[in-house]
Amino acid sequence: MDLITLIRNNNCEIKYNVEYQKEWSDDELLSHIIFLDCSNNQLTTLPDLINCQELYCNHNQLTTLPNLINCQILACSFNQLTTLPDLINCQKLNCSSNQLTTLPDLINCQESNCGFNQLTTLSDLINCQKLYCGFNQLTTLPDLINCQILDCRNNQLTTLPDLINCQELNCYSNQLITLPDLINCQILWCEHNQLTTLPDLINCQILNCNNNQLTTLPDLINCQQLDCSNNQLTTLPDLINCQILYCNINQLTILPDLINCRTLYCYNNQLTTLPDLINCQILCCSNNQLIYDNIKEHKKLVKFRNFYKHLKYLKKWRLYKTKSIINKKKDLMLELLYSPNLSFYKLDPYYIHFIENQNK
């Protein structure tokens, strides 16, 4: 089924720049379209949409797109596209999950999602504020000085451009050795790289840098969630505001103050003591060298130990009470046995059972 048929059958969401007229020819109809959503059909081609400003054609079988010179918003994900037309006026582009190897000039693009393609390079994106280019074959990125959110995970990047305005960065699974200045970064995922150092991250609140080659970490005074597992760390910085910490599989011998930590995974280190973890709810500290004789130094474990003591006393008390009740019942039965005024009780099944088993 072609686009005209879909439109005539009201199977598309559509807006025109003038009031719709039934007598329009096909060419006239197409020329008046300014908004079109023809997603989730089986379209293989689209006609010229010269005045279309917003086009959503996701989840079709398109291999090419028509002239979209006036298009400001284009969503063409999940097709079979190998190239895109001129998109000089495009401000928002989602062309993810296609077979693209190159992109056109996107000088005015502010938000682009070109992930899951076969891209090796990107065009000029100087005005881009949000860029999602993960799962490609990129080795370099263009100038992204205005980028605030960058997701470039799963590529072949060895360096990143200047990202001074970046607030969220996901560069997971690349070949990065260093990172640029990220003074404004609040969220950083840089795990599975070859990093030996990190830049200043004074404003970072969420940091995931696991599976690198880090030996030290920068100041992370504002960090609330930190995953630095699988590195070569021997010490950690001040983490007074950290609530979730994964520092397992390192070479740590001591931990900093973690008074606000609620979740701590510090297994597979060389720790001999733990700090005060009064607010900790989840703790995994196996495979260390912890001295449990100094258990009083750890309030959470002291609480657990005291609870365990109380639990043992409770079990003993219950056992004593059970035995006491049994003994009292036995005394009562023996008393009843010699009580002539309570002969009716001697017919009770429980009493009979007791008498029968007295000498066994």
Which residues in the chain show pLDDT less than 70? 292-360
Query: Distance of alpha carbon 286 from its chain centroid, rounded?
Result: 25
Is 327 a domain residue? yes
The CA distance from 270 to 140, in Å, is: 39
Tell me whether residue 341 is exposed, middle or buried, using C-beta atoms within 10 angstroms of its C-beta: 0 to 12, 13 to 18, 19 or more: exposed
**Helices 349-356 and 299-337, interaxial angle, to 10°?**
90
**The residue to which tokens 């970046």 are assigned:** 166
**Distance between CA atoms of residues 261 and 14, nearest Å:** 52
d(C-alpha 195, C-alpha 342), whole Å: 89
Which residues form the domain of 318?
304-356
Report how far Cα 175 is from the mean position of its chain's Cα atoms.
21
Q: Is residue 43 part of a domain?
A: no
Position 332 in a domain: yes
pLDDT at residue 291, as a whole number: 83
List Cβ neighbours of 17 (8 Å cut-off, separation of 6 or more).
Answer: 32, 33, 34, 51
* Residue 346 belongs to a domain: yes
- The C-alpha atoms of residue 27 and residue 226 are separated, in whole angstroms, by 58
What pLDDT shows up at residue 323?
60
Write a three-state SS string for 240-288: CCCCEEECCCCCCCCCCCCCCCCEEECCCCCCCCCCCCCCCCEEECCCC
Query: Which pLDDT score is estimated for 209?
Result: 99
> Which pLDDT score, from 0 to 100, does residue 304 have?
44
SS (H, E, C) 170-226: ECCCCCCCCCCCCCCCCEEECCCCCCCCCCCCCCCCEEECCCCCCCCCCCCCCCCEE
Token pair 């009470």 in the structure block, residue: 321
Residues whose CB is less than 8 angstroms from the CB of residue 276 and which lie 6 or more positions away in sequence, other chains included: 257, 258, 259, 298, 299
Tell me the pairing of strands 168-170 and 187-189. parallel
Q: Please list, residue by residue across 269-294, b when 16 or more beta carbons sit within 10 angstroms of its beta carbon and e when fewer do.
A: bebeebbebeebeebebeebebeeee
Residues 6+ apart with CB under 8 A from 121: 102, 138, 139, 140
Smallest CA-to-CA distance from 268 within 248, 240, 244, 283 is with 248
Domain annotation covers residue 181: no
DSSP class of 357: T
| E strands in 85-166 | 92-94, 111-113, 130-132, 149-151
Residue at 290 is within a domain: no
Please indicate, yes or no, if residue 339 is contained in any of the structural domains: yes
CB of 144 closer than 8 Å to CB of 167: no
Q: According to the model, what pLDDT value does residue 348 have? A: 52
pLDDT value of position 316: 55
Tell me the three state secondary structure of residue 94: strand
pLDDT for position 155: 98
Q: Are 152 and 173 in contact (CB under 8 A)?
A: no
* Residue 312 belongs to a domain: yes
Q: What confidence score (pLDDT) does residue 137 get? A: 98
Which positions ≥6 away from 11 have C-beta within 8 Å? 41
The number of distinct structural domains making up the chain is 1
The tokens for 137 are 């074959």
